[in-house]
Structure 1
Amino acid sequence: MSQLRRAKTWEISESENESDSEIRQTVSKDDEQTTQAKISPVIAQAKDVQAGCSTVVPVPLPDSETQDVKVKDTLSLPSTSVPGTPSPRKRRRRTKEEIDADEQNAEAKRKAREKIRKERAQEKENKRQEQQARKEAAERLKSYRPENCLKFLTVCIDTALLQDERCDILLETLYAMEWKSIIEKHHLTHTITWKRELPQGEDKPSPVLEEQILMVLTLNEFLDMVVSIKHIQEKDIGEVAVDSLFRQLSEYLNSNGEKVVTLVVIGPNPSSWTLWSGQHGDQTLRSQMGVEYIDIEEALVFLQLYKNTSVIFLEGWQHLIDHVCAVTKALSKRPFKQMTEKDYLPFCLEGSWASGVRVEKDGTGLGQVWSRQIQQLNRVSPAVAAGITSAFPSPQLLLQAYRDLDSDDKRKRLMADLEVKSGDKERRVGPNISSRVYRFFTSPNPHLVLD
């Protein structure tokens, strides 16, 4: 056997006519034929299974050949068991109650979705309205600023003042400052009034007449008014002329009590009338039906007390023009100050601020507000305020303690003996601070001076 093997090897190695490629082709062809011969029984078995055969007889292969047959682990036998398809069950018909219940559920879901949609739309509309309201409020506040408010003010001048040629200077000044002015007939003669146009969005009717009124008089007209007041004080009303300026002023104030009239007299101040009368002759004032300096002083007091009318004396029309401009600017600042200076306590603010105390909705911070309110009084330190607020945690408790006492002396000395701790030192509140706090909380006079 060994000789035969050597001869076979020798023959292969000595083959000069065949190349390496031809040898590989020959070997690959032999392998394909061998593989085809081994796979053909398997393919025939698969075809039999597909044709409906229930049993398959495997073709045994020799052991030596089983090891050589490998179809690259990609071929596999199909499953011999064919599962049966279950027959569909008959669908059960729904009852009318179930159909109604499903329709009700669908309707409820539709209504819930519709409700949610409406709520979202309403919330969006409310948000839009709030934004619009804030925008309008900001625009309205902007229009109330002094520089913008001057555009809505109109200076109204009575036609009787045009009789004086110096009134043209007033009109030229208003025109130069680009302020609105109008000439019209007034119920009270010789007057200058102001009219304001309100911005859009206000509930009040526009325009609004300001309560400030300037009544411009010459010196002789004012002296005639002094004479009328003197007759009234002497209860000689019949001597007062029907067309006198004082009677017109009285009737106007009786029907318009909210108006504030200021008499502007173009002439020297009464304090300098002695010198002025000496320069222009001693009979200047005495010639006005016996008017004396004391009569003028009594007339000024009478106008102030009974008519709430003040009198100012200006040397000439230029001073009158300056005064009209000053009043106009003051009126332009008035609405903005009224909007910004609301009736809130300066020590209790809505937002956080270095000098204020924030009060939450649950009442947190009211104790600090009460302590800060006590500190508004002069010479009341934070330690003294802390001692008072610790004894009386709220203003209501302090007022109740005042009501429980039977005399003013006891009420004034209620907090005099309270202890105050300032560092390591201890002292009392004292009768002075106790009395001032009592007057502050119980006095009906808003203009009372505590110190």
Structure 2
Amino acid sequence: MSMLRRATTWEISASEESGTETEEVGGGENKCNRTERISTSTSSSSSTLLPPPPPPRPGAAADPSPAKKRRSKEEIEADRRGAEERREGRERRRTARAQEKEERREEQLRRREAAEHLKTLRPENCIKTLTVCIDPGTQGTQALLQQHGSDLLLGSLAACHWRFSIESQQLPHSISWTRDLAQEKDGAAFLEEEQVLLVLTMVDFMDLVFAVSKMLHGDRQELEAEAGSVLCPLYECLNRDAMKVVTLLVTDSEYRTNTHGDETLQSNLGMNNLDIEEVLVYLQLYKNVSLVFVADWQDVTDHVRSVTKALSKRPLRLLAEREELPFCVDGSWASGVRVERDGSGLIQVWGKQMEQLNRVSPAVASRVAAAYPSPQLLLQAYASLDSEDERKRLLAGLLVKSEGKERRVGPEISARIYRCFTAQNPELVLD
């Protein structure tokens, strides 16, 4: 306060010294101005010299805050349920991702297994699972592998690196096939194929034909029991497995399927041609047994190789046949030509109908359809002509543009189209 008083006194004294002259000039008005300047100086000086107010204490609050509201049990329970739902949602998403990952892994495994299985079904791999089973043929007139030229079969199988085994079969003098199922999931170790080759000499074949002929014209049960050593095992094999397909290979060159062979066969059997044909038809239709005459063991070897290659291709073909409509492929032609309600598309159908004829190209069909837009118009054109020759040559002069070249339909195609749409005989051959 002493400083304030001194500052005030100093300013008053200074103003008094300067105010003497002012009083002399201005009078009472200057006195009022002096008073205002003193108050202004006092306030500015005090604001300059006074220290700023101290900051508020940390513990002290300017405005007291309201008390914190406590949550109810319902709110706490709702928050808990929300947290559990979020946790369960995360767990479900994690489980779904893991399941989806497992499904993708299983799908990839299935595809890999399917690809491996398909690879094993290829002929070059499937033939490695086949085994050619050859009966040594110890029963009968002569052992099978002791016949002249039988070594050609074994040498050919060894040269092709095909598996074969020489062991007694249920049907003597036979050649059969088994397929290894080691890569399959079935309980069986191998599968017997239906194809069976029965190699017979001419003597054995004549005994078979004679026995079947007697059976057809006499007591079947008695003759089956008294039949020779060839017929009885054959019937037992067919009765045991009706799906077997037996082929008789007769190894004698002079009795092949020609006129001389038929006459020789008749003379040896004492039977006419009708009786022999009856026996062969019976064996083929009722017993599923076919007959092939071969010249020597080279033909037998070739036949065995052909059957082995066909059996190696069989699994892949069966897999393709299991598909629905395997002969239909995706393409624009698969659905045909669409005909709208207004009739658009009928001319395309008319052209497609003509394309079904042999050697009628799409260009020819389009040209004929352009000249006669409907079958009725073409039939009317045929009816307007007088002679048959004019009707056959009606379309011969039409020009057809194909690959930048012009040519005519020609009389041959014109006559074929005429016969197709005017013939009354359903058995007529167009070509």
Report the counterpart of residue 180 of structure 1 in structure 2: 163
**1:356 CA drift (Å):** 5.1
Q: In the alignment, which residue of structure 2 is the partner of 1:298?
A: 278
**Residue 59 and residue 95 in structure 1: after superposition, are their counterparts in 2 closer, same or farther (change >3 A)?**
closer
SS of 1:92's equivalent in the other structure is: coil
Is the alpha carbon distance of 1:296 and 1:183 closer, same or farther for their aligned partners in structure 2, counting shifts above 3 Å? same
Could you give the per-residue CA deviations for residues 126-153 of structure 1, whole angstroms, max 9, x where no partner exists?
A: 1111111111111111111111111111
- 1:274 corresponds in structure 2 to 260
Q: 1:57 aligns with which of 43, 46, 56?
A: 46
SS in 1 for 2:70: coil
Per-residue CA distance 1:4-38 (angstroms, 9 max, x = gap): xxxxxxxxxxxxxxxxxxxxxxxxxxxxxxxxxxx
Between the aligned partners of 2:428 and 2:170, the Cα distance in structure 1 is 41
Q: 1:106 aligns with which of 83, 88, 91?
A: 83
Letter in 1 for 2:260: T
CA change 1:356–1:146 in 2 (3 A) is farther
Contact 1:156 1:195 in 2 (8 A): yes
After superposition, residues 222-237 of structure 1 pair within 5 angstroms as 222-237=205-220
Relative distance call for 1:117 and 1:140 in structure 2 (3 A) is same
Letter of the 1:255 counterpart: R
Q: Deviations over 1:316-355 (max 9, x none)?
A: 1111011101110111111112223445446754xx54x6
Instruction: Name the CA shift for 1:170/1:56 in 2 (closer, same or farther; >3 Å).
Output: farther
Counterpart CA distance in 1 for 2:116 and 2:190 is: 19
Following superposition of structure 1 onto structure 2, how do residues 376-415 of structure 1 map, counting pairs within 5 Å?
382-384=348-350
Matches within 5 A, 1:263-342: 263-268=248-253, 269-272=255-258, 274=260, 286=267, 290-291=270-271, 293-342=273-322
The offset of 1:103, in angstroms, is: 1.4
Question: Quick one: which of 212, 220, 227 aligns to 2:203?
Answer: 220
- Aligned-pair CA distance for 1:56: 8.0
User: Match for residue 126 of structure 1?
Assistant: 103
Q: Which runs of 4+ in 1 moved over 6 A?
A: 275-278, 429-436, 448-451
2: CA distance, partners of 1:327 / 1:119:
53
Query: TM-score under structure 2 normalisation?
Result: 0.61
Structure 1 counterpart of 2:250, one-letter code:
V
Change (3 A) 1:133 1:344: same
Tell me by how many angstroms 1:187 deviates: 1.8
Give the alignment of 1:14-25 within 5 angstroms: none
Over the matched positions of the two proteins, sequence identity in percent amounts to 39
Q: C-alpha displacement at 1:198, in angstroms?
A: 3.8
- Residue type at the aligned position of 2:109: Q
- Supply the distance in 1 between the matched residues of 2:218 and 2:338 (Cα, whole angstroms): 57
Contact in 2 for aligned 1:347/1:356 (Cα 8 Å): no
Change (3 A) 1:149 1:449: farther
Partner of 2:369 in structure 1?
A: 422
Q: What whole-Å deviation, never above 9, does each CA across 1:47-78 have from its counterpart, x for those lacking one?
A: xxxxxxxx982459xxxxxxxxxxxxxxxx99
Distance 1:231 1:370, change over 3 A: farther
The question of whether the paired residues in 2 share the 8 Å contact of 1:348 and 1:369 is answered with no
Give the Cα separation in 2 of the matches to 1:449 and 1:249.
46
Distance 1:119 1:239, change over 3 A: closer
Distance verdict in 2 for CA 1:368–1:90, change over 3 Å = farther
Per the alignment, residue 30 of structure 2 pairs with: none
Supply the distance in 2 between the matched residues of 1:343 and 1:104 (Cα, whole angstroms): 54
Q: Distance in 1 between matches of 2:258 and 2:90?
A: 87
- Residue type of the alignment partner of 2:154: L
What's the counterpart of residue 246 of structure 2? 261
Unaligned runs of 5+ in 2: 1-43, 138-143, 341-345, 354-367, 380-417
1:335 and 1:175 map into 2 onto residues whose CA distance is 24
Distance of aligned partners of 1:206 and 1:59 in 2 relative to their CA distance in 1, 3 Å threshold:
same
Change (3 A) 1:271 1:216: closer
**Contact preservation (8 Å) 2:131, 2:162:** yes
Native 8 Å contact 1:140 1:199 kept in 2: no
Counterparts of 1:144 and 1:435, CA distance in 2: 51
Aligned AA (1:137): A
Aligned length: 315
Aligned CA RMSD, in angstroms, stands at 4.2
* Deviation for aligned residue 1:295: 3.8
Q: Tell me, in whole angstroms, the C-alpha distance in 1 between the residues paired with 2:54 and 2:419.
A: 113
Q: Which has the higher contact order (CA 8 A, sep 6+)?
A: 2
Q: 1:232 to 1:176 in 2, by over 3 A?
A: same
Q: Label 1:369 to 1:144 Cα distance change in 2 as closer, same or farther (>3 A).
A: farther
Contact 1:346 1:356 in 2 (8 A): no
* 1:92 Cα deviation after fit: 3.4
Q: Which runs of 5+ in 1 are unaligned?
A: 1-54, 61-76, 279-283, 358-365, 372-379, 388-420, 440-447
- Map Cα deviations across residues 275-304 of structure 1 (whole Å, 9 max, x no partner): 7988xxxxx86455x355554333222212
1:151 aligns with 2:128: yes
Secondary structure at the aligned position of 1:186 is classed as coil
